[in-house]
Amino acid sequence: MIGLGTMGAGIAEVLAAAGRTVIGVDADQAALDRGRTIVETSTGRALERDKITADQRTALTERISYHTDFAAVADAEVVIEAVSENLELKRSIFTRLGEVARPETLLATNTSSLPITDIAVASGRADRVVGVHFFNPAPVQRLVEVVKTVLTAPSAQTQALELVNDLGKTPILCGDRAGFVVNALLVPYLNRAARLYQDGCATAAQIDEAMVAAGNPMGPLALIDLVGLDVTVSALDRMYSETRDRRHAPVALLAALVSAGRLGRKTGQGILLQAEPRPAPLIDRSAELPDALLLPYLNDVCRMVEIGYATPEVIDTGMSLGCRMPRPFDVLADLGPAAVLAGQQQIFAATAEPGDRPALLLERLAAAPDPAAALTELRAMA
């Protein structure tokens, strides 16, 4: 495991919990100590919640060793990199891995926002490189996105899928596109929530409570603080650079908080945890919730299916196991395609954002003689 920050330490814990010997590598002793503390805190919580016994916790932590020397991974079967989202740093690590790792070693990156192909080619053996994208907190979320590039060998893809299954997680296979499946749907939703808050349309509590009432385990603003504002902004930047959809440009408030070093839980201050209380909204638009956030998200879900990037089943698995959100196609079925379309048409009329245009697939479903039956048929597609 290269990089023992929030995600790297979480992945190390998952590997060790599944009985693997984990060689943890980070830049210096301070980084290794932080990684060890993250594992201790998380396994302590797992113990408190009766997820593991004290003996299992001891065995798990003893399976992880800590090193500052890259050569420690020379004999590893799999190397997973989870350093910060910096392309040059990741490329230099993959160049080193190309030199020190065995030729048959599976090389994986946990990047959520950088093109995996660009990282893979730096290794000189891009056929052995995949993305394995874990979700925060890694020990809790059951999903891992396995990302193949145009250069990934089928054997490397199979090995990655098997690894994820062995870890007790569920993989979904994705192409190397901005956001993969889950973030491509999640981060635009988070950005939209941040915009409502920034523009004073509703209070933070109103936004988060409305989305919790809609069945999510936490509100979008709390989730931004959990995943990190830097990670959220990087993921949005990558989406924006690929889609040129203005809705994907990180809102000014998020960008400013990142510049200020307020990155969320990991730094103690973030979007919810701000020093100054915000003034009450001038025009309270909280009555538009949860539709203002939910309907564009469902519309994006339909568009992702429409373009053939993912099936309804893959999207449902992704959002429910990656983020513990309700399965989007259950929500669409509950609300009914016609009601979702009508609401989305209103949103599009108000925003005039091309990205808010109702998806053709949503229009087709709503226009079907029996929309519920059309939706069931769509969900059965392989």
d(CA 228, CA 222): 10
d(CA 13, CA 137): 11
- Toward ligand 3HC, which CB reaches closer, 181 or 223? 223
Other Cβ atoms closer than 10 A to 223 = 23
Under rule CB under 6 A, how many of the chain's residues touch ligand 3HC? Answer: 24
Burial of 28 (0-12, 13-18, 19+ CB in 10 A): exposed
Of the residues 11, 174, 227, 304, which one makes contact with ligand 3HC according to CB under 6 A: 227
| 318: contact with ligand 3HC by CB under 6 A | no
Only one of the segments 39-47, 96-104, 254-262, 356-364 lies at the binding site for ligand 3HC (rule: CB under 6 A); that segment is 39-47
| 223: contact with ligand 3HC by CB under 6 A | yes
> Shortest Cβ distance from residue 236 to ligand 3HC (Å)?
10
| 6: contact with ligand 3HC by CB under 6 A | no
| 317: contact with ligand 3HC by CB under 6 A | no
| 139: contact with ligand 3HC by CB under 6 A | yes
> Shortest Cβ distance from residue 102 to ligand 3HC (Å)?
29
- Toward ligand 3HC, which CB reaches closer, 45 or 91? 45
Q: Write the CA distances from 189 to 43, 223, 240, 298, integer angstroms.
A: 31, 11, 14, 10
Of the residues 45, 63, 91, 379, which one makes contact with ligand 3HC according to CB under 6 A: 45
Strands 106-109 and 129-134: parallel
Of the residues 324, 357, 364, 379, which one makes contact with ligand 3HC according to CB under 6 A: 324
Only one of the segments 24-32, 136-144, 191-199, 345-353 lies at the binding site for ligand 3HC (rule: CB under 6 A); that segment is 136-144
Name the E strands within 302-371.
none
Only one of the segments 24-32, 80-88, 191-199, 320-328 lies at the binding site for ligand 3HC (rule: CB under 6 A); that segment is 320-328
| 48: contact with ligand 3HC by CB under 6 A | no
| 60: contact with ligand 3HC by CB under 6 A | no
d(CA 335, CA 339): 6
Structure tokens given for 82: 């989870």
Known catalytic residues are: 112, 133, 145, 183
> Shortest Cβ distance from residue 152 to ligand 3HC (Å)?
20
d(CA 313, CA 329): 8
Of the residues 25, 76, 126, 186, which one makes contact with ligand 3HC according to CB under 6 A: 186
Q: Dihedral of CA 11/17/22/25: which sign?
A: positive
Strand, coil or helix: 33: helix
| 18: contact with ligand 3HC by CB under 6 A | no
Of the residues 49, 280, 349, 381, which one makes contact with ligand 3HC according to CB under 6 A: 49
331: Cβ contacts below 8 Å, ≥ 6 apart: 215, 294, 298
Q: 194, 249 in Cβ contact below 8 A?
A: no
What part of residues 233-272 is at the interface with ligand 3HC (CB under 6 A)? 235
- Toward ligand 3HC, which CB reaches closer, 182 or 366? 182
At 250, give phi and psi (nearest 5°): -55, 135
78: Cβ contacts below 8 Å, ≥ 6 apart: 105, 106, 108, 159, 163
221: Cβ contacts below 8 Å, ≥ 6 apart: 193, 194, 197, 204, 207, 208, 271, 272
Only one of the segments 45-53, 263-271, 288-296, 328-336 lies at the binding site for ligand 3HC (rule: CB under 6 A); that segment is 45-53
Only one of the segments 42-50, 65-73, 249-257, 283-291 lies at the binding site for ligand 3HC (rule: CB under 6 A); that segment is 42-50
d(CA 138, CA 149): 23
The binding site for ligand 3HC (CB under 6 A) comprises 42, 45-46, 49, 51, 112, 135-137, 139-141, 183, 186, 217-218, 223, 226-227, 231, 235, 322-324
